[in-house]
């Protein structure tokens, strides 16, 4: 049975939209998903589901969470296979040649970026923050030895008019192995 990962945006951040992971697992089980696991408090849910499109899964999860919580929670859903491919490709090492002290993040997007959006994103790169994308995710490196970072998830959303949810590289690697 296929495994998927739901990445919830904006929960358990600064005391807002608090969801206990036990409750979150219950919501997913109640939607018919199996082998539901959560990882840390930032809304990472690994689960099994019958094979279906990512769009259908995302719609089902979004609707189910809204009914359970009473408010909208943006969700990006990907297959565990895709997460494993992201980890294996290791853009940070193989493309960006990031140094060990660099902070590394991956922003998962509600939809792929168009070529003009990718070009614009790359133009946001500065001495501290490097943005790289081929369309489906955004890879961000932050080198704080060179100054203060301007990166926030909201920066991506505002500039690209798209919702995104960002995870650090360690979380990406952990989710790929679950």
CB atoms closer than 10 angstroms to residue 48: 14
Q: For position 71, which CATH number holds?
A: 3.30.70.1280
Q: What is the pLDDT along the chain (178 residues), one digit of tens a residue?
A: 999 999 999 776 666 678 899 999 999 999 999 999 999 988 999 999 999 999 999 999 999 999 999 999 999 999 999 999 999 999 999 999 988 889 999 999 999 999 999 999 999 999 999 999 988 999 999 999 999 999 999 999 999 999 999 999 999 999 999 9
Pairing of strands 44-48, 3-8: antiparallel
pTM greater than 0.85: yes
Q: For position 172, which CATH number holds?
A: 3.30.70
Structural domain tally of the chain?
A: 2
Q: Which of 152, 133, 21 is nearest to 6 (CA)?
A: 21
Instruction: Judge if 17 and 48 occupy the same domain.
Output: yes
Kindly state the tokens that stand for 144: 């704080």
Q: Where are the beta strands (DSSP E) in the chain?
A: 3-8, 34-39, 44-48, 75-79, 103-109, 129-133, 137-142, 164-168
- Picking from 50, 82, 114, the residue at the C-terminal end of a domain is 82
- Picking from 38, 54, 82, the residue at the C-terminal end of a domain is 82
């Amino acid at each position: 049975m296929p495994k998927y990962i739901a990445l919830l945006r904006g929960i358990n951040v600064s005391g807002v939209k608090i969801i206990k992971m036990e409750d979150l697992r219950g919501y997913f089980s109640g939607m018919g998903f199996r082998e539901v696991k959560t990882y840390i408090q930032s809304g990472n849910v690994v689960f099994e589901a019958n094979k279906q499109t990512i769009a259908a899964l995302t719609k089902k999860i979004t609707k189910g969470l809204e009914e359970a919580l009473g408010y909208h929670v943006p969700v990006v859903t990907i297959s565990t296979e895709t997460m494993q491919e992201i980890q294996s490709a290791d853009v940070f090492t193989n493309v960006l040649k990031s140094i060990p002290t660099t902070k590394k993040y991956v922003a998962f997007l509600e939809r792929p970026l168009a070529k003009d959006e990718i070009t614009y994103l790359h133009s946001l790169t500065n001495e501290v923050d490097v943005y790289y994308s081929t369309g489906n995710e955004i890879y961000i490196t932050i080198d704080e030895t060179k100054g203060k970072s301007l990166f926030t998830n909201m920066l991506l959303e505002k500039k690209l008019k798209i919702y995104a949810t960002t995870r650090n590289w360690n979380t990406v690697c952990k989710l790929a192995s679950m």
